[in-house]
Amino acid sequence: MKSRRLFWSIVEKLEDLIDQGICPAGSRLPAERELAQTYNVSRPTIREAIIALEVRERVEVKTGSGVYVIAQKNPQHTVKPISAFELTQARALIEGEAAALAASTISDDEVTALKKALSDMASPALADEADQRFHHIISQATHNHAVQLSVENLWELRRSTPEIVAAYNDVCSQGIDQRIKEHTEIFNAIASNDTAAARKAMHSHFNRLINALFDASEARELEEVKRKTDKTRGLYSISHLSK
């Protein structure tokens, strides 16, 4: 399974057309069939891309008329940045419910794919990709496109926001055994069709991650305080006067 869903590449291409003014606010996007031919993808993929653009408030779908570009109310450069803590809390809420739903809807083939992703997480070379694949299989196993889109949006922030990438890199490279243990508990609950256990296991995973993020943040702040204190101590030290 691709780590990045195909429709996201279409979203980015259409957003580029909008941002470059090729498709200005008020203009109508080409018809679904034409877009599918232009980008050599299926019409369902185009529909998913349009839904994503709606969620991002880039277009408006007018029944019987078409898809129209809308002016951005809040340009990206004025939007308050999302912190790693906010993202992780949102992931816990949404992916926790996704796990619970998947526990009641997952197919045998999806269980097999989920087990393969879990196995691949034991390999350092595959761990990060397998982790992402694991979570995406769960969202797909809900068989709910809105849930899938919500999870993908959160992962897109996880991948594309430098501050969040740095914060996650600080903690995800540590505690590999614990990481696998938590995902194993999630897998076992979903494979057993235990919705409550699936939700609890996913929440426990993210709770540990949030605490790890706080620990890493605290360590960085303490190191910065120590650095500034050492600098100030050197500035006012009089020990050299006794030499």
The predicted-structure confidence for 177-225, as pLDDT tens digits, reads as follows 888 999 999 999 999 999 999 999 999 999 999 998 888 777 666 666 6
CA–CA distance, 83 with 85 (Å, rounded to integer): 5
CA–CA distance, 202 with 103 (Å, rounded to integer): 12
What is the predicted pLDDT for the residue at 160? 82
Strand, helix or coil for residue 202: helix
Residues in the chain predicted with pLDDT less than 70, given as ranges, are 1-5, 73-80, 173-175, 219-228, 230-243
CA–CA distance, 236 with 121 (Å, rounded to integer): 51
**In terms of C-beta distances under 8 Å and separation of at least 24 residues, what long-range contacts does 44-49 make, across chains too?**
45/6, 45/7, 45/10, 46/7, 46/10, 48/5, 48/7, 48/145, 48/149, 49/7, 49/8, 49/10, 49/11, 49/14
pTM over 0.85: no
What is the predicted pLDDT for the residue at 8? 84
H or E segment to which residue 14 belongs: helix 6-19
What is the predicted pLDDT for the residue at 239? 61
Spell out the residues 6+ positions from residue 220 whose beta carbon is closer than 8 angstroms to its own: none
What is the predicted pLDDT for the residue at 241? 55
Strand, helix or coil for residue 61: strand
CA–CA distance, 108 with 237 (Å, rounded to integer): 70
Query: 131's torsion region: left (phi>0), alpha (psi -120 to 50) or beta?
Result: alpha
Could you give all domains of the chain from N- to C-terminal order, each with its CATH number?
6-72 (1.10.10.10), 79-228 (1.20.120.530)
